[in-house]
Amino acid sequence: MVGTRKFNEEDVLDIAVEVFSSKGFNATTMLDLAKETGVQRGSLYNAYQNKDVLFFKAFSHFTDNFLTFIEGELQHSDAKKAFTQLFKAIVERLCNDKEAKGCFSTRAIMEAAQKCPNIQLCLTGFLDSLEVIMKNRLDQAITDQQFIGNAQSTARYLVSLTRGIAVIERAYNDKARMTDIYQTALDYMPFKTAV
Amino acid sequence: MVGTRKFNEEDVLDIAVEVFSSKGFNATTMLDLAKETGVQRGSLYNAYQNKDVLFFKAFSHFTDNFLTFIEGELQHSDAKKAFTQLFKAIVERLCNDKEAKGCFSTRAIMEAAQKCPNIQLCLTGFLDSLEVIMKNRLDQAITDQQFIGNAQSTARYLVSLTRGIAVIERAYNDKARMTDIYQTALDYMPFKTAV
DNA sequence: ATCAATTTTGACAAGTATGTCAACAATGAC
DNA sequence: GTCATTGTTGACATACTTGTCAAAATTGAT
């Protein structure tokens, strides 16, 4: 490498995720991204070709972090507690971020999914991964005799639940409401306390 | 009235709802609305002041229809069947519309809620109404000994479920998946078949 | 039929966003 | 230290969107 990039790509993508999360895909301009990252617009165009590509990169960056985060929160040996902890952490993450930004992936799905097949694939791929992680944990729970039900369907259902909570956050920005929702959902699920 | 409006306001709002549903708030331009409605841009500005107001009117128009629709689908005397019918109808409505448009209110919440306090209020007001309708049906179910649980929390949870399904529609546009989700959710709920 | 109020129409101005480019700066390799 | 390569910078052209306005058209009321 000869001319080396001045800005830290990691930082820029982190900030891009923030900006896209809080303004949404369409309302975010390259100028916004330039201002927030401190990188000139021209440099962004040089590094990424355009907004779509930058979004794409930011999204990959986000999913890498998020999926790791999700898996980390499902570690508790009691299945119901594991999922409770997961949702608790998701809600914390949604609410505790400075100035209520909103869920990056949910906003992306609502706004950008239909934009192009690549982005659509990348978004469904993310949800699929989420589903797999949850399904695996549920399979484990079944093995541990802590859950009786269809792991596949339940995982899909739980993925949908995370999306619903993300929408509720946008509307009410009320942590108690979000907590009530996932607790109600988890209480209804056929978990069994360990034998 | 002297100079009478040429276009049918009802029709225009119907179409506006369609356009906002399929493109989202930000991506919808006044030109889009003019093209789709066949009403000149200038006339739209004359009738409504700007995009925000037009959106506001379209939203009210939408909620009037939607809440009536929701109540209509909850008529079945068996509570679980009533809610199953409701979700079935919601999914139909989401999927059967020409060229997969997406849920108007969910898109609005994700994109427009933070725009201004008025719109925020109007969106939460809509969700609140939805919640009340569901809570009333659940209260009835409790009276009928068809349900045991907290009507308030469950209603909120179900509102969130409708939002989650709307997001899933955007990502996958897969009716079977959406059906699986609400069936899983309803199967987990503490309904009792009538005594 | 005329009038007055209102809508419609198309053009205009201003602002915003995108994407490109040429000149310039920086730096690793030799 | 020079060079070649790449990144940075700010300006530019283009396109899009919004909102306004004056002139023209329309129509209910008289």
pLDDT the model gives residue B194? 55
Nearest CA among A18, A43, A17 for reference residue A31: A43
At residue B119, the pLDDT reads 87
Task: Point out the residue among B160, B180, B189 whose CB comes nearest to the CB of A156.
Answer: B180
- What is residue B118's predicted lDDT score, i.e. its pLDDT? 83
Q: What is the pLDDT of residues A30-86, one digit of tens each?
A: 999 999 999 999 999 999 999 999 999 999 999 999 999 999 999 999 999 999 999
Provide CB contacts within 8 A for B133, sequence distance 6+. Answer: B67, B70, B71, B74
Residue B3 C-alpha, separation from nearest chain A C-alpha, in angstroms: 38
- Identify the contact set of chain B against chain A, taking CB-CB distances under 8 A: 24, 26-27, 102, 106-107, 109-111, 113-114, 120, 123-124, 127, 149-150, 153-154, 156-157, 159-168, 170-172, 177, 180-181, 183-185, 188-190
B34 touches strand C (CB under 7 A): no
User: Inter-chain contact A110–B167, Cβ cutoff 8 Å?
Assistant: yes
> Which token pair is B145?
């000994």
Query: What distance in Å separates residue A115's CA from the closest CA in chain B?
Result: 10
Kindly provide the b/e burial profile for residues B27-59, where b requires at least 16 CB atoms within 10 angstroms of the residue's own CB.
Answer: bbeeebbbebbebeeeebeeebeebeebbbbbb
Residue B167 has its nearest CB partner, among A154, A167, A189, at A167
If you average pLDDT over every residue of chain A, what do you get? 94
Question: Where does residue B102 fall: left (phi above 0), alpha (psi -120 to 50 degrees), or beta otherwise?
Answer: left
Model-wide pTM > 0.85: yes
**How would you write the pLDDT of chain B (195 residues) with one tens digit per residue?**
666 788 999 999 999 999 999 999 999 999 999 999 999 999 999 999 999 999 999 999 999 999 999 999 999 999 999 999 999 999 999 998 777 789 999 999 999 888 888 889 999 999 999 999 999 999 999 999 999 999 999 999 999 999 999 999 999 999 999 999 999 999 999 999 755
Q: Is residue A190 within 8 Å of residue A148, measured between CB atoms?
A: yes
Q: Tokens 């993925």 — which residue? A: A159
Q: Which residues in chain A have their CB less than 8 angstroms from residue B154's CB?
A: 184
Q: Nearest residue on chain B to A124, judged by CA atoms?
A: B171
Q: Using the CB atom, is residue A30 less than 7 Å from strand C?
A: yes
CA distance A131 to chain B (A): 12
Predicted pLDDT of residue A118: 83
How many CB atoms are located within 10 Å of the residue A11 CB? Answer: 12
What pLDDT does residue B35 have? 96
Q: Which residues of B touch A154 (CB under 8 A)?
A: 184
Higher pLDDT, A194 or A105: A105
Q: Per residue in A141-179, pLDDT tens?
A: 999 999 999 999 999 999 999 999 999 999 999 999 999
Alpha helices by DSSP H, chain B: 9-23, 30-37, 41-47, 51-73, 79-96, 104-112, 117-143, 151-172, 175-188
Q: Hey, how many other C-beta atoms are within 10 angstroms of the C-beta on A131? A: 19
Distance B29 CA to D17 C1' (A): 7
pLDDT of A172 = 96
Q: Which of A153, A163, A171 is nearest to A124 (CA)?
A: A163
Q: Do B171 and A27 touch (CB under 8 A)?
A: no
B185: which chain A residues are within 8 Å (Cβ-Cβ)? 157, 185
| Cβ contacts of A107 on chain B, cutoff 8 Å | 110-111
Q: What is the pLDDT of residue A1?
A: 60
Instruction: Give the pLDDT band of residue A194 (cuts 50, 70, 90).
Output: low
Q: Please count the residues of chain B.
A: 195
Tokens found for residue A13: 């993508």
Contact (CB, 8 A) for A159 and B184 = no
